[in-house]
Structure 1
């Protein structure tokens, strides 16, 4: 619940934060450029420290549903790697390990909660250009320019009616909200403008019929001004950088 805020900042930049105490509300929106990070992987018992300069998040994804642990996949591209015997930043601040789980998740479509979804996924591809090696650059990337953000995903649901299927067939714009709630803390991803892609329901077993609906999110005229808005509510005061 705390650490995910730093990854959201890496993707979207500084959030708009409100609140004078726990809980604080941090709202992240798509910006024109991503922050550049310095990351370090530590092996203090050896000792060896790998430092990665000029890092950016290239892709972010997660799938939830079922009883497995809820995890996110984060793909990172960097410019330069160096190995040293000491850490470049010390001492480090340990963050509390507070998790969201699959059982705390809900999905809203067009403002109404969906109770028929068994699995959902979300993918954000920032389209970084990793082929920016130059002559005289000593094998390091000289830049990591962003491409066009692609936000997509899918939902798998019981085929109980044709409402979602008809929206896909008719190319009807809708919205999706993925939310995880733990007490007063929460994490949500809101996509104000979404189009479902056409698929046909399938019989996976004798127990029922399911429909898989891929979707793409975009920004056209939504009031939020962003293809995706991430809102994190937790006890951490600020994710802003100078």
Structure 2
């Protein structure tokens, strides 16, 4: 009897023509790299409340179906653009050879995906429909691989014995690494940063209607949020002063391979809280700023992501 191993698992994705509608037979799927996933369908049980039938309980009642979970994916040069499209909507793409894709927050309607997680050792292929990307979290550090954690909400899941696409597209993997990262404040390099994190969320609202199949009706975007933190060695009072004066600033987080291969996250209007400084011994003093972003009038939005690569369009 075969046993499933993560090393042999596969992930295929395609955008749906409308929410929960399976892509047409001519739609090509992309084969995407991933680190881990907990996306899947679950249906709980509710204890039966009948009495008068003796001390032993009656059979439990099945609850509604939930299809959600997190997925950790590599931040790479090409495939990550598909996740950004699902998170923020279609980009504005320019360039004939060196392409620039600009994604922005605030779009009223977001696309949905069909995602297939394949276990060919069994074989078993689990396809989730109506998949919406609710959130993304990116951590910046001095070393290591650059990954993103995606929060996913889906409508349903079906199990198949064969893959939905035997010959999916593959964009190729060029992975960003943490040593290629940088952080800027108002266009200037921000020094003494030990670690940083940013989290963007669409704050999707599950539309939980009464249905015979137990599924949700949809997941609608509400007021988005962009938050994060900066952990810095205390070397000057620039950030403390900005927090004290409630002065907004622009934070830019980038991964750069070269002039035509880069990924940039821009929080256009960031507000810093004033942190308490603690001295716990003779070593260096650090401060953590848990920032929040807001819509910037000049930029017309809160959050922009710019991807430079060799992909013509998404």
Deviation for aligned residue 1:81: 0.7
What's 1:177 paired with?
Answer: 252
Deviation for aligned residue 1:37: 1.0
Mapped pair 1:55 → 2:131: yes
Deviation for aligned residue 1:84: 0.9
Instruction: Say which structure, 1 or 2, has more relative contact order (CA 8 Å, 6+ apart).
Output: 1
What's 1:163 paired with?
Answer: 238
Instruction: State the distance in 2 between where 1:137 and 1:209 align.
Output: 58
Paired residues of 2:268 and 2:296 also in contact (CA < 8 A): no
What's 2:290 paired with?
Answer: 214
The one of 224, 231, 234 equivalent to 1:149 is: 224
3-state SS of paired residue (1:119): strand
Structure exhibiting the larger radius of gyration computed from Cα positions: 2
The one of 132, 143, 147 equivalent to 1:71 is: 147
Mapped pair 1:115 → 2:191: yes
Higher deviation after alignment, 44-53 or 170-179: 44-53
Instruction: State the distance in 1 between where 2:169 and 2:299 align.
Output: 34
The one of 160, 181, 192 equivalent to 1:84 is: 160
Paired residues of 1:110 and 1:176 also in contact (CA < 8 A): yes
TM-score w.r.t. length of structure 2: 0.72
Deviation for aligned residue 1:126: 1.0
Instruction: State the distance in 2 between where 1:145 and 1:90 align.
Output: 32
Paired residues of 2:78 and 2:174 also in contact (CA < 8 A): yes
Deviation for aligned residue 1:94: 2.0
Mapped pair 1:33 → 2:116: no
Paired residues of 2:183 and 2:190 also in contact (CA < 8 A): yes
Instruction: State the distance in 1 between where 2:161 and 2:295 align.
Output: 46
Mapped pair 1:5 → 2:89: no
Relative to structure 1, the CA distance from residue 93 to residue 181 in structure 2 (aligned partners, 3 Å threshold; closer, same or farther) is same
Paired residues of 1:175 and 1:191 also in contact (CA < 8 A): yes
3-state SS of paired residue (2:243): helix
Question: Pairwise CA RMSD of aligned residues?
Answer: 1.4
Deviation for aligned residue 1:109: 0.6
1:16-50: CA deviation from partner (whole Å, max 9, x where unpaired): 111111x2110001111211111111112322111
Paired residues of 1:185 and 1:234 also in contact (CA < 8 A): yes
Instruction: State the distance in 1 between where 2:112 and 2:101 align.
Output: 20
3-state SS of paired residue (1:168): helix
Deviation for aligned residue 1:9: 0.3
TM-score w.r.t. length of structure 1: 0.93
Higher deviation after alignment, 149-158 or 85-94: 85-94
What's 1:104 paired with?
Answer: 180
Instruction: State the distance in 2 between where 1:9 and 1:40 align.
Output: 18
